[in-house]
Amino acid sequence: MSQTDLASQLGIHKNVLGRYERNEVYPSIDLARKIADILDVSLDYLTGKDDVQIDKDTSSRILEVSKFEEADRNHIFSVIDAFIAKRKIQSIM
């Protein structure tokens, strides 16, 4: 997405967006949330507090799983671990 497209979706001038990118000025928290929503990233990722970009779908699923009983969470984690191990094995072959 171009800077012009993002600025248009935010309802601001692209020069203002450029100033945000250069840390010359900072957006309001509401505008920062809107930027994160449009870019499909977390506020932590947007502000550099988190190096890992997790999309909203993954984030919402993690939140739901965190509400499960421990035995169910452990089962889900075992399945995830199996996929991770499979991928690691495939990458070295």
**Helix ranges restricted to H, 11-55:** 14-21, 29-39, 43-46
Tokens describing residue 8 = 């248009």
Identify the H or E element spanning 88.
helix 70-92
Whole-angstrom distance, CA of residue 30 vs CA of residue 36: 10
SS3 8: helix
Q: Are 13 and 7 in contact (CB under 8 A)?
A: yes
Is pTM beyond 0.75? Reply is: no
The residue-averaged pLDDT of 1-15 equals: 93
pLDDT (tens digit per residue) in 27-69: 999 999 999 999 988 888 888 887 777 778 888 899 999 999 9
Domain residue limits, the chain:
3-46, 56-92
